[in-house]
Amino acid sequence: MPETTAFILACCGLYWMAVGAWTFFSTFRKVNPTASAIAPGSEPSPSSEAIPDRRLGRRRLGGLFWFTLGLGALWFAEIGGGASPPVQPEFEDVSSFDQSAIRQIDAWLQRQVDLSQFPSLSVAVVSNGAIVYQGAFGFEDLEAGVKAIPETSYPVASVTKVFTTLLALMLHARGVVDLDKPVATYLPEGVSITANPKLGATITLRQLASHTSGLPRGIPGRVQSVEGRYELEPRRLYDQLAGVTLEFYPGADEEYSNLGVGLLGHALERAAGKPYEQLLRETVCDPLGLERTTIQVNEKLHVATGYGSRVPRIPETHSYRERLAPSGGLITSAPDLATFLAAHMKPGLLSPEMLAWIFTPARLSDGSMASHSLGWSIDLSRPVGLVLHKNGGRNNCGAWIGFAPAHGVGVAVAANCGEPDVDQIGYWLLEGAVPGGHRPVTQYGYAKATPYSGVRWEDDRPIVCVHNRWSALVSIDGVTVEHILDFARNEFGDLAHKRFAEDLVEVLSKMGHDPDWEVTLGLESKEGQVEELKVRMTEENRNRVRN
């Protein structure tokens, strides 16, 4: 909850408690007068008139209600206050990674920790195969006062999936598995996949890796009885699989599936004849030198304590019983994640053919492209062009990794709490790490950003919200609104208002004016005076307008 909201809620809570207390205790001053208090033959005065017991009871109940409501508001403000979402950086290009750039990044990340109250935040940036930045902020253990260091390791939840899909791709290249064969090939005979075994038997390893198998998102029940570590009991998994209902025919659509990637990892360990963790270490971690990447915690690691999403942060654990290690069990550090990203940006551990498979979206049965490749989400909307990314999170951890292969730049972010998520921190830093990558207009497209957080229309004239104040918009960078809207109507027809509100960067660029991130707005006051105000365009503003 933002600090301002928490403050307002706390003020309301105090007011409601005061009203409730006054209402409740005031009833005890207006009690029924006793017979001895009134002289014989006299009439009671209006001020001493008795209040019926039922009215007193209702007042007291009302007082207790408002007092309790206020107490609840104060409690909610306390547990929900203080944590704000990440804020956009002031810097646009730190791709030099000189001392000035590093100071800017350090200061910005420290601000994220302060505003969002992350217990700790670790970040690493890789460029052209080398780690050019790494930073750790906050505490890996708040109670013990242990500061986070770059070597601090974090559970990264679903970021594990791209390690599993990379492992699958490498074993495919070695002939251990065939990605286009049914997963049933690698399971014991008689294991039924889904409540429709005939259809389930067609699901391939590739479909599991690209979230196109039709298996549901969640793991339907317990797959192990041990807590504190991952020890899959295969029979439990098979029993769960037999009752699963497919969301769609395999290959016909896509749906993110923890069950699917978990099943993929199990098939890989059966095909290779080795436990998943050993297979991952020998095939991926050791060749890349990932010394702080593992499934099971060991004494060599600085593993950050996990904290819940509410503020103040309270240590929080998670259950292992309904989780599959290949889907979300990895523990690693930001520098190890950056090294892992580097392996995806030039041939080495991976051949050019394997990299091409990673960069290519899965194809659905109708010929269309999915939004996932082998494990990775694919984003073509960013200013830096193609971005492959993967996030992960649960109640006590959060992580994001992403890279722009055309530029050889990747970013890894990890935190030891579940909210707020760290995805936007990773995106912003990735764009700042690419030379010119944070421009609103690039060869790859137009940034989805606006300088105003709201738009309404009065007689075809835009009234915009800037810094929580509504004003008539007169011009943008000296270009009149009438001229911009005339162009938008000619270019977009009936969608002119929508495109002006949500896609301002594209509208301005197509009419021959490429804006910067900071634009000058001409705003007309109620008195008719025009004020020129420099305003930074942000993605948050655009999302508010769109919503």
Please indicate, yes or no, whether residues 281 and 184 belong to a single structural domain of this protein.
yes
Please indicate, yes or no, whether residues 336 and 237 belong to a single structural domain of this protein.
yes
User: Residue 451: is the preceding peptide bond cis (ω within 30°)?
Assistant: no
Model confidence at 326, in pLDDT bands (50, 70, 90)?
very high
Encode pLDDT of 76-133 as tens digits. 655 555 578 899 898 888 999 999 999 999 999 999 999 999 999 999 999 999 999 9
Give pLDDT, residue 45: 45
Please indicate, yes or no, whether residues 455 and 430 belong to a single structural domain of this protein.
no
**In-domain check, residue 337:** yes
Domain of residue 527, residue span = 446-546
- Which residues, including other chains, have CB under 8 Å from residue 165's CB and lie 6 or more apart? 209, 261, 264, 374, 375, 376
Tell me how far apart the terminal alpha carbons of the chain are, to the nearest angstrom: 19
Please indicate, yes or no, whether residues 7 and 25 belong to a single structural domain of this protein.
yes
Give pLDDT, residue 536: 85
Give pLDDT, residue 91: 85
**pLDDT at residue 55 is higher than 90:** no
Model confidence at 60, in pLDDT bands (50, 70, 90)?
confident
Encode pLDDT of 128-148 as tens digits. 999 999 999 999 999 999 999
Which percentage of the chain shows pLDDT scores above 70?
A: 90
Single residue among 80, 107, 132 that ends a domain in this structure: 80
**In-domain check, residue 89:** no
Distance CA(389)–CA(417), nearest Å, equals 20
Encode pLDDT of 201-239 as tens digits. 999 999 999 999 999 999 999 999 999 999 999 999 999
Give pLDDT, residue 9: 63
| pLDDT (mean) for 43-68 | 64
Please indicate, yes or no, whether residues 241 and 356 belong to a single structural domain of this protein.
yes
DSSP 430-452: HHHHSTTTT-SEETTEE---BS-
CB of 465 within 8 A of CB of 535?
no
CATH number of residue 290's parent domain: 3.40.710.10
| pLDDT (mean) for 243-258 | 97
**pLDDT at residue 46 is higher than 70:** no
DSSP 28-44: GGSPPPPGGGS-TTPPP
Question: The tokens 């009885």 sit on which residue?
Answer: 225
Single residue among 62, 80, 98 that ends a domain in this structure: 80
Model confidence at 1, in pLDDT bands (50, 70, 90)?
very low
**In-domain check, residue 30:** yes
Single residue among 45, 80, 115 that ends a domain in this structure: 80
| pLDDT (mean) for 432-436 | 88
Higher pLDDT, 307 or 49: 307
**pLDDT at residue 407 is higher than 60:** yes
- Give me the chain's average pLDDT, please: 89
Distance CA(372)–CA(216), nearest Å, equals 16
Give pLDDT, residue 76: 60
Please indicate, yes or no, whether residues 263 and 299 belong to a single structural domain of this protein.
yes
**pLDDT at residue 523 is higher than 80:** yes
**pLDDT at residue 37 is higher than 70:** no
**pLDDT at residue 22 is higher than 60:** yes
Please indicate, yes or no, whether residues 479 and 425 belong to a single structural domain of this protein.
no
Give pLDDT, residue 538: 81
Please indicate, yes or no, whether residues 478 and 416 belong to a single structural domain of this protein.
no
Structural domain total, the chain? 3
Question: The tokens 């339907």 sit on which residue?
Answer: 220
CB of 213 within 8 A of CB of 260?
yes
**pLDDT at residue 39 is higher than 50:** no
Give pLDDT, residue 298: 86
**pLDDT at residue 402 is higher than 90:** yes
Distance CA(431)–CA(64), nearest Å, equals 54
**pLDDT at residue 38 is higher than 60:** no
Distance CA(492)–CA(467), nearest Å, equals 29
**In-domain check, residue 249:** yes
**In-domain check, residue 160:** yes
DSSP 254-315: ----HHHHHHHHHHHHHHHTS-HHHHHIIIIIHHHT-TT-BSS--TT--BPPPB-SSSS--B
Please indicate, yes or no, whether residues 429 and 455 belong to a single structural domain of this protein.
no
Model confidence at 72, in pLDDT bands (50, 70, 90)?
confident
CATH number of residue 471's parent domain: 2.30.42
CA distances from 363 to 77, 211, 357, 359, 385 (A): 48, 11, 11, 12, 21
**In-domain check, residue 130:** no
Q: Which among 510, 521, 409, 400 is positioned nearest to 471, based on CA atoms?
A: 521
**In-domain check, residue 148:** no
Please indicate, yes or no, whether residues 334 and 221 belong to a single structural domain of this protein.
yes
Give pLDDT, residue 262: 98
**pLDDT at residue 2 is higher than 70:** no
Distance CA(472)–CA(456), nearest Å, equals 10
Give pLDDT, residue 232: 97
Please indicate, yes or no, whether residues 267 and 347 belong to a single structural domain of this protein.
yes
Please indicate, yes or no, whether residues 237 and 382 belong to a single structural domain of this protein.
yes
**In-domain check, residue 375:** yes
Q: What's the predicted TM-score (pTM) here?
A: 0.75
CB of 532 within 8 A of CB of 522?
yes
- Report the run of H or E that residue 160 belongs to, with start and end: helix 160-173
Give pLDDT, residue 444: 66
**pLDDT at residue 13 is higher than 80:** no
Amino acid at 391: N
Higher pLDDT, 9 or 176: 176
Model confidence at 36, in pLDDT bands (50, 70, 90)?
very low
